A and B are shown apart, each in its own frame.
Chain A
Amino acid sequence: MSLLGWIGVAVLGGAGTLLRFRLDGVVQQRAGGSFPLGTLTVNLLGSFCLGLLVGAGVGDTLLVVLGTGFLGSFTTFSTWMFETERSAEEGDGALAVLNLLGPLGCGLAAAGLGWALGASL
């Protein structure tokens, strides 16, 4: 891994994180309600884009910088799990189950769709 790769991941990782915060906030604000739609939105968008990159077979360096750096930081697993666990803890089991299965199913569909589209380019 070249130094430029590490710098690229650092810069785009920071940018992806900030963009996640912003998009998550906007979507959640508009959507309202207790379902974490903001987290789902960034995760689905990021999964689709990463599927696209992998399907298109972009080079290693580009994949590390854009995939690991930007999209890896733009999407988040910990917030998803945290929001699900807190829903369950608060007694909203239905919301917890919905927030486990919904993002998993939609995430696989988004990543698979992106991959197929990328491969066909």
Chain B
Amino acid sequence: MPVRDPYVREPRTGVGWGDGRLQAAIVAGGVAGALGRLALDRAFAWDGRGWPWPTFVANVAGTLLLGHLVTRLQERLPPSTYRRPLLGTGLCGALTTFSTFQVELIGLARDGEVLLAGAYAGATIGAGFLGVYLATALTRRVTV
């Protein structure tokens, strides 16, 4: 059974893989998130120079969505076993990426674009943090 740590954490299985439906929910969300990120990659056609727009947009959009979803699921809707794994762990987790963000920073720095790398790191983290904060605040304010 998934263990729901009430506030901060994602639901965790602890021991074992969890039940089949939980896994299916996570995989379904993950497939959708990965395809969404790939579609953004293709749409922007970033050539490795300048501001990495596809990753930036995916990461900021994912934090806004996660802040909204988790607040709504935890504080607005009746408990549900599969929505958070599907939408939080799966969709938002896979739509956003840490590894590409870090490797892009290393790539920019290697190209001598240290200032751009610093601005990109600061903007991504700033917008991501603010995204969770704002989405949470707005979701709490709206009475559903």
Q: Total interface residues on B, using CB and 8 Å?
A: 60
**Inside 8 A of A46's CB, which chain B residues have their CB?**
98-99
B85 touches A21 (CB 8 A): yes
How many angstroms from the CA of A10 to the CA of B33 in the assembled complex? 9
Contact flags B98-137 to A (C-beta < 8 A → 1, else 0):
1111110111001000000000010011001101110010
| Chain A residues in the interface with B (C-beta under 8 A) | 1, 6, 9-18, 20-22, 24-25, 28-29, 34, 36, 38, 43, 46-47, 49-51, 54, 64, 67-69, 71-87, 89-90, 100, 103-104, 107-108, 110-112, 115
Interface centre among B31, B65, B90, B102 (most CB of A within 10 A): B102
| Chain B residues in the interface with A (C-beta under 8 A) | 7-10, 12-15, 17-18, 23, 26-31, 33-35, 37-38, 41-42, 59, 62-63, 65-67, 70, 85, 88-90, 92-103, 105-107, 110, 121, 124-125, 128-129, 131-133, 136
